[in-house]
């Protein structure tokens, strides 16, 4: 069992354990969680919930970053893209978040070059994928969200050289 102050992922959000309530409801132990993005929000969840998972390791963060150039973009027709984004977001796979980030970034860059308006759905899924990926990475790397984002981008750029 985790302890107060530890981090855990609830659904897709990284949370800090604020309190552990023993035999709280129906003789079950509960975590009181604060999402790192909003510490005013409190979530009470059984410690045995299937919606909880441990953070990945620092080593796995480095492996994922090194693998980013090899993670493919999403290849499908425009009409099916939003469904593909939704399906990938539902997997809670960090690599799938990277697929979304890479795909939406390249699509938006191409639209900008063509002087076209950016698509809201691309921006929406880009922001969500970044939030879930970089929030988890930032806790593990002991950096802010922006520092983490810059660190990942710089690390990937060094790999290309």
Q: What is the pLDDT of residues 93-146, one digit of tens each?
A: 999 999 999 999 998 888 888 888 878 889 999 999 999 999 999 999 999 999
Q: 58-160 has which fold? A: Methane Monooxygenase Hydroxylase; Chain G, domain 1 (1.20.58)
pTM of the model: 0.91
- For every residue of 131-161, DSSP letters joined together read HHHHHHHHHHHT--HHHHHHHHHHHHHHHH-
Residue 159 has pLDDT above 90, yes or no: no
∠ CA 97-98-100, nearest 5°, is: 65
The two structure tokens encoding residue 85: 């984004």
- For every residue of 45-69, DSSP letters joined together read EETT-TTEE----HHHHHHHHHHGG
């Amino acid at each position: 069992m985790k302890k107060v102050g530890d981090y855990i992922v609830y659904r897709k959000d990284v949370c800090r354990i604020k309190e552990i309530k023993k035999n709280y409801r129906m003789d079950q132990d509960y975590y009181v969680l604060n999402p790192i993005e909003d510490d005013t929000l409190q979530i009470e969840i059984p410690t045995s919930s299937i919606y909880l998972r441990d953070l990945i390791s620092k080593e796995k963060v480095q492996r994922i970053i090194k693998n980013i150039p090899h993670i493919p973009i999403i290849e499908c027709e425009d009409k099916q893209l939003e469904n593909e984004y939704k399906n990938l977001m539902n997997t809670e796979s960090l690599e799938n978040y990277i697929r979304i980030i890479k795909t939406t970034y390249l699509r938006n860059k191409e639209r900008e070059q063509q002087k076209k308006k950016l698509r809201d759905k691309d921006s929406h899924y880009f922001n969500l994928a970044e939030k879930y990926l970089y929030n988890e990475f930032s806790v593990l790397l002991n950096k802010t969200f922006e520092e983490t984002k810059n660190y990942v981008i710089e690390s990937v750029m060094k790999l290309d050289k």
